[in-house]
Structure 1
């Protein structure tokens, strides 16, 4: 049986760029960049070596300073090196979502333990930019419509080809949940969807309650493994 890594890597590296986007919006695939591919491969081989399906934590779409640089969802260059043990020559620039996620990962026993059960990904797997700044797939109705078929493809491939647990998925972000729930009603891929506040939202607007928000993540994710 193929490993989770063997199924994940082709999905990411082969996922197509969109055919057309609204004016001023661009999409980039970090997974095909020569400086990123070795890092993504090393991470996948180390943490996704077993074949078992994982519970998905699905974000919106990658940011340029997190997985846009490392190829690993919610993992900036500092987390990749210091938490995951994968050295890299990338600028040691932090990204808010990554900082939050790796507090959760540490609270759940560290990366080796966490990634045995969970997969960090995105509803749409490519970086979206507008005026060279991060852009979300739901930030404009025209963009959401332009990406609709690709988002269906992304979700179906992650579930059916990469191999996600179908009993439950975790959606990161309340607005993101609206679209994931709509797609799931159409495609019937997950039995249940848990919704958590997005890490970036918590780091930007709810930082004073950070320990409680980390604890909430740990509580929800731990309950899924019981």
Structure 2
């Protein structure tokens, strides 16, 4: 099976976590026909091979990015304007997606980037509460309840073919929890933290080029190793 086939099979079979705290709802876009259509176009275009890839691990999908399109860190605007995949989604911009696709361009463009890297999240599905995005770590009860689920889903994706070095998109609670999981479950040889895209765009926009360069420098060894 190609990497694309493995990813699409995974999402086709993805189950919802149970035991969620009261008031917490799941973002599950994969039942929608438009999500199924664009994810197949995307993965078949950029992952139609058997290359191992380094995992870039976010927190969990948000309402306007992966929670809408089914493609991590890819909002409907970037999907259409950068990746040339026309779509019927509400064209809302997502801060993290804006950063990611500027970074991808700096690395060398989507074709080169996705040949070496795979976006996922600690939780493959996002959460909302009271109509707002919710991170898996915002409610300790949620984090505890879905730990087995999250570890199981990460392992299923590692089986696609993962580079031993992974990257955490987030230097705070996300890398802290990933290091805990990695020590307990031995998922990767190492996990390297990078500043979260949304944090950069929201609080450090004037230093955008500096943070993009951090990503470029961090990813260069992965790309060079494969060439």
What does 1:186-197 align with in structure 2 at a 5 Å threshold? 186-197=184-195
Q: How large is the RMSD of aligned CA atoms in angstroms?
A: 1.0
Distance 1:76 1:4 in 2: 22
State the partner residue of 2:205.
207
**TM-score normalised by structure 2 residue count:** 0.95
158, 167, 170: which is aligned to 1:173?
Answer: 170
Q: Which runs of 4+ in 1 moved over 6 A?
A: none
> 1 CA distance for matches of 2:56 and 2:33?
26
Query: Which 5+ residue runs of structure 2 have no aligned equivalent?
Result: none
**After alignment, is 42-51 or 9-18 more displaced?**
9-18
3-state SS, counterpart of residue 30 of structure 2: helix
1:143 is aligned to 142
Distance 2:11 2:178 in 1: 19
Q: Distance in 2 between matches of 1:11 and 1:179?
A: 24
For 2:182, what is the secondary structure of its paired residue?
helix
| Deviation readout 1:167-220 (Å, 9 max, x if unpaired) | 200111121111111111122121111100110111111111111011111111
Q: Which residue of 2 aligns with 1:94?
A: 93
What's the counterpart of residue 17 of structure 2? 18
For 1:217, which of 215, 218, 221 is the aligned residue? 215
Between the aligned partners of 2:221 and 2:106, the Cα distance in structure 1 is 14
Aligned pairs for 1:124-163 within 5 A? 124-160=123-159, 162-163=160-161
The equivalent of 1:47 in structure 2 is 46
